[in-house]
């Protein structure tokens, strides 16, 4: 007989003071579950469940006797309830943390499901319930074994192999096709966390209807959209692409994403001599682009192109729309033009490019931009920028510019709702990370202020520390004791193409050793975190308010994510951030470098309950929810599909160039008249992509 799933948390007596103390401090042991379903026999469904921690299995086998008077789909729904409740009880009683569950059946069972398509929905529903109800990443897989218990054990092993079990947190391994370097999002679709209905429930109907209509057009015309970027994980670009590909797969749109083979020497060039120079966060001449840098970077781009995407690989030849995310791989643009002249190429700029500095001959920004523009980026059909005129560098024609903000996903691990127990679990994980890095952790009985950001020179982290210490001094002057004052949390993920992360992190640790900060250093948590989305989500959800004191910023999705969790944001009036925050309503904008202003804003938020609650109430309104939707995946997917249908030649002999200049009207106030940094004001006729399709829908409605 298979071993039953039994309680075995500790040899300590349950309920004893030592046991209770241990439970309060312990991080639940990570386990990976396998669930195997077998074909119906005599009206019953056989199923088995196995738990695997990397060393041993625990298995439970059972049979479900459904009500034959109800449809098979309804029978499976009741089975869902049974399995989910059993696993919930199992995890609670053992103090286990189920990180992933792999659900599957043998060939006969799979055949039955294929013959009865109505059975697919309850199986998918079971997966999404694991994601939303238990915070467990669900996977679907076809199983083989001589018995149902062997199949469930195989499923548990498969789940374990797909994740990173050495650290608490359900972190799927990043899967990349070795032949083409295509990012196989959600383990090539085996991870099934959401259905279309979940996206529909979080999207206003006009936007959703437009998305479905554009998706149908892409399918009818058999359009293929591909994205290129430098890395599959770390940073906002990767987050957006994972979420978008997930939705496109559910819509059955052919949309793919490719990344380069990493080269640390090249990433030093692309981060420090492209990214940091464009943002103007360094004026050190050692970061001026040299000929040897150009040669190494071009060679790397061409090697990736020839090995993974060039002639004979079927990647470029079959594409209709090709999107280049930022400059890291832009040297392949001429190669794309040569191999597939009919493809329409879009350059998507995600960073703040200091247009004022790039306009000065001889500056590092001017020389670097001239090199990239003249040889590579000038050959694209459309240049998409964040909606700030000062981010659009010189010599980019107005006729080829469109505007689009950055996006995040309301249903992924960064933003989904978490219950109190889940937030507590991730707090313990965070404190373990903090302890391992020699940093204080979060106290369970004190609030905290947070800034979530990469350890990057543009993120203003020294300003955060200075403002926080000034905030603490103001609270002390008001008679508030130290143990009643908020802590500060500084945390973020790292990225393989960011060599500055470790350098900036070490600089911050050294800064906290300075005498002026010593009084509060033990209340400042500085932690580099692993790539667990729910970890960041839980930290934001548990915070008192959020900071974003970036000196240079394109369009910060962490601001969107904090606002979506109803946390007021105190931020610098920097880059695209003022477009995200309504000053005095959803957050507080302070001039760049005014740390005393930040401290005053924090003090009022913390000491004036009614004032703080006014922000929370505003963030919860339907109006704010609708405004935020333009920064979420479905809305942004409408933008991309609209561009694809308008730009692509396939199936459309009269393809329209969306970038064609049109009168700006009244909707350009976000970019019209932006100060350029040299006393001039540049007026652009560039329009948001959304304006085109919204205007199109309005015209249809009027007709």
Q: Evaluate whether residue 1 is within a structural domain.
A: no
Residues 612 and 691 reside in one and the same domain: no
Residue 210 to residue 270: CA distance in whole angstroms: 37
Whether 13 has a pLDDT exceeding 60, the answer reads: no
Minimal CA–CA distance to 155: which of 44, 52, 58? 52
* H helix runs in 550-591, sequence order: 557-564, 577-580
> What is the model's pLDDT at position 100?
92
Report the pLDDT averaged over residues 198-224.
96
> What is the model's pLDDT at position 495?
67
Residues 442 and 554 reside in one and the same domain: yes
Residues 430 and 537 reside in one and the same domain: yes
- Which has more confidence, 493 or 175? 175
Whether 538 has a pLDDT exceeding 70, the answer reads: yes
- Which has more confidence, 142 or 130? 130
Residue 516 to residue 529: CA distance in whole angstroms: 27
pLDDT tens column, 631-661:
999 999 999 999 999 999 987 755 444 444 3
- Which has more confidence, 265 or 68? 265
Whether 113 has a pLDDT exceeding 80, the answer reads: no
> What is the model's pLDDT at position 23?
57
* Domain at 243, CATH number: 3.40.50.2000
> What is the model's pLDDT at position 489?
97
- Name residue 527's beta-bridge partners: 491
Domain final position from 631, 658, 691: 631
Provide the residue range defining the domain that includes 431. Answer: 420-631
Whether 583 has a pLDDT exceeding 60, the answer reads: yes
Residues 375 and 426 reside in one and the same domain: no
* Domain at 55, CATH number: 3.30.420
Residues 258 and 378 reside in one and the same domain: yes
Tell me how many helices (H) and strands (E) the chain has: 26, 20
- CA angle, 557 as apex, 556 and 558 as ends, to 5°? 90
Least confident stretch, 160-174, 234-248, 275-289, 419-433: 160-174
Minimal CA–CA distance to 136: which of 189, 87, 185? 87
Beta carbons of 196 and 274 less than 8 angstroms apart = no
- CA angle, 398 as apex, 274 and 323 as ends, to 5°? 50
> What is the model's pLDDT at position 676?
39
Residue 67 to residue 160: CA distance in whole angstroms: 34
Q: Tell me the pLDDT band of 10, cut-offs 50, 70 and 90.
A: very low
Contacts of 584 (CB under 8 A, 6+ apart): none
Q: Evaluate whether residue 178 is within a structural domain.
A: no
Residue 59 to residue 50: CA distance in whole angstroms: 4
Number of domains in the chain: 3
Q: Evaluate whether residue 180 is within a structural domain.
A: no
pLDDT tens column, 659-681:
443 333 332 333 444 433 333 44
Residues 150 and 204 reside in one and the same domain: no
What share of the chain in percent tops pLDDT 70? 89
Per DSSP, 309 falls in state: I
- Which has more confidence, 4 or 198? 198
Residue 612 to residue 620: CA distance in whole angstroms: 13
Domain final position from 173, 206, 241: 173
pLDDT tens column, 503-537:
889 999 999 999 999 889 999 999 998 878 999 99
Beta carbons of 530 and 541 less than 8 angstroms apart = no
Residues 287 and 372 reside in one and the same domain: yes
Domain final position from 631, 646, 661: 631
- Which has more confidence, 340 or 351? 340
Residues 451 and 530 reside in one and the same domain: yes
Residue 159 to residue 273: CA distance in whole angstroms: 41
Minimal CA–CA distance to 455: which of 471, 437, 443? 437
Helix (H, G, I), strand (E, B) or coil at 268: helix
- Phi first, then psi: give them for residue 39, nearest 5 degrees: -60, 155
> What is the model's pLDDT at position 663?
32
> What is the model's pLDDT at position 25?
64
Residues 602 and 462 reside in one and the same domain: yes
- Which has more confidence, 671 or 500? 500
Q: Evaluate whether residue 186 is within a structural domain.
A: no
What share of the chain in percent tops pLDDT 90? 60
> What is the model's pLDDT at position 209?
96
Q: Evaluate whether residue 9 is within a structural domain.
A: no
Q: Tell me the pLDDT band of 39, cut-offs 50, 70 and 90.
A: confident
Q: Tell me the pLDDT band of 41, cut-offs 50, 70 and 90.
A: low
Mean pLDDT of the chain: 87
Give the number of other CB atoms < 10 A from CB of residue 506. Answer: 11
Q: Tell me the pLDDT band of 77, cut-offs 50, 70 and 90.
A: confident
> What is the model's pLDDT at position 672?
43
Which whole-number Å values give the CA distances from 567 to 268, 305, 547, in the listed order?
35, 43, 10
Give the number of other CB atoms < 10 A from CB of residue 436. Answer: 9
Residue 641 to residue 321: CA distance in whole angstroms: 10
Give the number of other CB atoms < 10 A from CB of residue 395. Answer: 13
> What is the model's pLDDT at position 92?
87
Q: Tell me the pLDDT band of 369, cut-offs 50, 70 and 90.
A: very high
User: Using alpha carbons only, how large is the chain's radius of gyration in Å?
Assistant: 26
Residue 226 to residue 256: CA distance in whole angstroms: 5
Ranges of beta strands (E only) in 65-114 are: 96-105
Residues 476 and 353 reside in one and the same domain: no
Residues 241 and 280 reside in one and the same domain: yes
Q: Evaluate whether residue 251 is within a structural domain.
A: yes
> What is the model's pLDDT at position 662?
35
pLDDT tens column, 247-306:
999 999 999 999 999 999 999 999 999 998 998 888 888 989 999 999 999 999 999 999
- Phi first, then psi: give them for residue 40, nearest 5 degrees: -70, 130
pLDDT tens column, 474-490:
999 999 998 899 999 99
Per DSSP, 15 falls in state: T
> What is the model's pLDDT at position 12?
42
Report the pLDDT averaged over residues 27-45.
81
Residue 250 to residue 256: CA distance in whole angstroms: 13
* Strand-strand pairing, 587-590 and 569-572: parallel
Q: Evaluate whether residue 130 is within a structural domain.
A: yes
Residue 94 to residue 51: CA distance in whole angstroms: 12
Q: Evaluate whether residue 555 is within a structural domain.
A: yes
Give the number of other CB atoms < 10 A from CB of residue 301. Answer: 21
Residues 450 and 306 reside in one and the same domain: no
Minimal CA–CA distance to 352: which of 404, 390, 408? 390
Length of the chain: 703
């Amino acid at each position: 007989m298979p071993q039953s799933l039994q309680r075995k948390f500790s040899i300590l007596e349950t309920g004893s003071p030592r046991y209770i103390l241990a439970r309060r401090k312990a991080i639940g042991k990570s386990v990976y579950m396998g669930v195997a379903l077998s074909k119906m026999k005599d009206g019953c469904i056989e199923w088995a469940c196995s738990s695997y921690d990397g060393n041993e299995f625990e298995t439970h086998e059972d049979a479900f006797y459904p009500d034959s008077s109800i449809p098979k789909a309804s029978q499976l729904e009741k089975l869902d309830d049974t399995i989910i409740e059993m696993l919930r009880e199992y995890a609670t009683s053992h103090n286990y943390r189920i990180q992933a569950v792999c659900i599957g059946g043998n060939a006969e069972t799979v055949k039955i499901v294929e013959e009865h398509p109505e059975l697919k929905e309850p199986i998918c529903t079971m997966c999404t319930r694991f994601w939303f109800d238990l915070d467990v990443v669900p996977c679907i897989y076809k199983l083989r074994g001589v018995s149902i218990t062997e199949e469930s054990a195989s499923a548990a092993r498969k789940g374990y192999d797909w994740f990173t079990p050495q650290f608490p947190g359900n972190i799927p391994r990043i899967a990349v096709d070795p032949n083409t370097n295509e990012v196989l999002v959600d383990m090539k679709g085996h991870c099934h966390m959401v259905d279309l209905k979940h996206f529909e429930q979080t999207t206003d109907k006009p936007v959703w209807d437009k998305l479905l209509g554009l998706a149908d057009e892409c399918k009818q015309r058999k359009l293929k959209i591909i994205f290129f970027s430098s890395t599959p994980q770390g940073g906002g670009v990767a987050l957006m692409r994972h979420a978008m590909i997930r939705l496109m797969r559910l819509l059955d749109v052919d949309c793919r994403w490719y990344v380069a083979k990493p080269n640390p020497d090249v990433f030093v060039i692309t981060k420090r001599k492209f990214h940091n120079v464009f943002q103007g966060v360094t004026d050190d001449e050692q970061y001026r682009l040299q000929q040897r840098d150009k040669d190494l970077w071009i060679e790397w781009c061409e090697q990736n192109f020839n090995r993974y995407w060039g002639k004979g690989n079927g990647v470029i030849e079959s594409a209709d729309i090709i999107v280049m995310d930022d400059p890291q791989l832009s040297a392949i643009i001429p190669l794309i033009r040569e191999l597939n002249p009919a493809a329409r190429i879009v350059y998507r700029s995600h960073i703040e490019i200091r247009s004022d500095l790039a306009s000065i001959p001889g500056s590092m920004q001017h020389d670097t931009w001239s090199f990239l523009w003249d040889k590579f980026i000038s050959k694209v059909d459309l240049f998409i920028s964040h909606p700030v005129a000062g981010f659009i560098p010189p010599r980019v024609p107005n006729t080829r510019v469109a505007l689009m903000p950055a996006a995040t996903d309301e249903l992924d691990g960064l933003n989904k709702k978490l219950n109190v127990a889940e937030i507590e679990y991730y707090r313990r994980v965070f404190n373990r990370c903090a302890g391992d890095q020699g940093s204080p952790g979060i106290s369970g009985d004190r609030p905290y202020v947070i800034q979530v950001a990469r350890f990057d020179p543009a993120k203003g982290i020294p300003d955060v520390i200075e403002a926080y210490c000034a905030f603490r001094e103001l609270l002390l002057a008001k008679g508030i004791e130290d143990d009643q004052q908020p802590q500060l949390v500084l945390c973020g993920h790292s990225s393989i193409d960011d060599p500055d992360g470790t350098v900036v992190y070490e600089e911050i640790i050294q800064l906290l050793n300075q005498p002026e900060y010593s009084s509060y250093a033990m209340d400042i948590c500085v932690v580099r975190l692993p790539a667990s989305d729910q970890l960041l989500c839980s930290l934001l959800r548990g915070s008192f308010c959020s900071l974003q004191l970036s000196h240079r910023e394109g369009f910060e999705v962490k601001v969107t994510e904090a606002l979506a969790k109803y946390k007021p944001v105190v931020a610098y009036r920097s880059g695209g951030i003022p477009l995200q925050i309504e000053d005095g309503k959803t957050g507080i904008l302070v001039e760049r470098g005014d740390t005393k202003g930040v401290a005053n804003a924090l003090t009022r938020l913390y000491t004036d309950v009614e004032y703080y609650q006014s922000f929370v109430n505003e963030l919860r309104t339907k109006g704010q929810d609708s405004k935020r939707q333009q920064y979420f995946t479905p809305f942004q997917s409408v933008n991309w599909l609209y561009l694809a249908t308008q730009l692509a030649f396939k199936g459309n002999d009269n393809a329209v160039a969306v970038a064609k200049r049109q009168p700006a009207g009244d909707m350009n106030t976000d970019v019209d008249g932006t100060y350029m940094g040299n006393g001039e004001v540049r007026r652009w006729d560039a329009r948001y992509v959304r304006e085109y399709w919204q205007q199109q829908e309005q015209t249809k409605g009027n007709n």
